[in-house]
Amino acid sequence: MNWLQAIIQGILVGGQYALFAAGLSLMFGVMRIVNLAHGGLAIVGAYLCSVAMVGLGLPAPLAILLALIVMGGVGYALQRFLLDRTMGSGEFVTPLVTFALAIVIANLLFELFTSDVRSLQVGGLGTASLTITGSISVGLIAVIVFVLAVAILGGVQLFLNRTSLGRVVRATADDGATVRLMGVNHRVVFQTVTAFALVTATIAGIAFGIQSSFDPNTGTVLLLFAFETVVIGGLGSLWGTLVGGVVLGVSQTLAAQVDVQYALLAGHLVFLVFLFVRPRGIFPGTWQG
């Protein structure tokens, strides 16, 4: 029964990873930007939420909303004032700039909040559990995060495939210069996508902060998981991202059944196996679906 519990938990953890990876995948799909600051920005979102709750004394829902709005604005500004300028300067400039940004973020967080580990206390939500059968129970928050991940990834996929604005986003991903000739400012599309990507990163960061603890360097680890998720699932496929997260999560929890210290190693090994055997992921092709 422990193994079944491990698999179920792995699937739920996979939802968390997929949530982290969604924004990374979206930014790559639309703008070909590899955002190495994605994990760091997710953790900034968690710190914002923490400050709003502890520092300002706001109730959790309000603090979360505030963090989401601020991080959406950060995403807009990041694209408009930084990434837009780097995108035309050769393919290595943007990854370098986002790498630098990740370092700056980690150090700023260290200056502001020290290296103390903190977590987000949301009433009893962090510890509440759901009992499935007599011997199997899962954390309520993990279930909520998984459902959120499915809803967000599915929602984005539906938006892209079924709506007129989604069509414009796909067209922009294909050819940003030509979409301008159709009356669409491709920079506005880019800014919106980055804003949305950071909102999903913040949701993931806050969800992580409720279930676990974080410090200024947590972003690096999260970025690694997000990357592995995207590569396993297939670059740019949103449903693939979910499957990738689940594969990563389940391999970690199964290995933990043998010995807890093998969990992360197993995840990385599965990732490496995929790189060798199926380098384009489970669902290759474009994220346009």
- Using CB under 8 A as the binding rule, whether residue 224 contacts another protein is answered as no
> In the bound complex, what is the minimum distance in angstroms from residue 164's beta carbon to another protein?
7
159 vs 21: CA distance, rounded Å: 18
- Judged by CB under 8 A, the chain residues 235 through 254 that form the site for another protein are none
> In the bound complex, what is the minimum distance in angstroms from residue 170's beta carbon to another protein?
6
If the CB atoms of residues 89 and 185 are measured against another protein, the closer one turns out to be 185
If the CB atoms of residues 168 and 206 are measured against another protein, the closer one turns out to be 168
If the CB atoms of residues 169 and 204 are measured against another protein, the closer one turns out to be 169
> In the bound complex, what is the minimum distance in angstroms from residue 93's beta carbon to another protein?
19
Sole window of 40-48, 54-62, 169-177, 202-210 interacting with another protein (rule: CB under 8 A)? 169-177
- Using CB under 8 A as the binding rule, whether residue 178 contacts another protein is answered as yes
32 vs 47: CA distance, rounded Å: 28
Q: What is the C-alpha radius of gyration for the chain, rounded to an integer number of angstroms?
A: 19
- Using CB under 8 A as the binding rule, whether residue 180 contacts another protein is answered as yes
Three-state DSSP class for residue 214: strand
Three-state DSSP class for residue 283: coil
> In the bound complex, what is the minimum distance in angstroms from residue 256's beta carbon to another protein?
40
Which among 170, 215, 205 is positioned nearest to 189, based on CA atoms? 170
- Judged by CB under 8 A, the chain residues 66 through 125 that form the site for another protein are none
- Judged by CB under 8 A, the chain residues 128 through 167 that form the site for another protein are 164, 167
> In the bound complex, what is the minimum distance in angstroms from residue 29's beta carbon to another protein?
10
b/e for 245-268, b at 16 or more Cβ within 10 A? bbbbbbbbbbbbeeeeebbeebbe
If the CB atoms of residues 135 and 185 are measured against another protein, the closer one turns out to be 185
Task: Say how many CA atoms lie within 13 Å of 215 toward its Cβ.
Answer: 6
Q: What is the 3-state secondary structure (H, E, C) of 107-174?
A: HHHHHHHCCCCECCCCCCCCCCEEEEECCEEEEHHHHHHHHHHHHHHHHHHHHHHHCHHHHHHHHHHH
- Using CB under 8 A as the binding rule, whether residue 280 contacts another protein is answered as no
The one-character DSSP state at 261 is: G
Binds another protein (CB under 8 A): choice among 66, 136, 171, 224? 171
> In the bound complex, what is the minimum distance in angstroms from residue 169's beta carbon to another protein?
10
1 vs 11: CA distance, rounded Å: 16
Distances (CA, A) of 10 to 14, 43, 143, 157, 288: 6, 22, 11, 24, 27
If the CB atoms of residues 179 and 254 are measured against another protein, the closer one turns out to be 179
If the CB atoms of residues 168 and 230 are measured against another protein, the closer one turns out to be 168
Q: Which residues bind another protein (CB under 8 A)?
A: 164, 167-168, 170-171, 173-175, 177-186, 286, 288
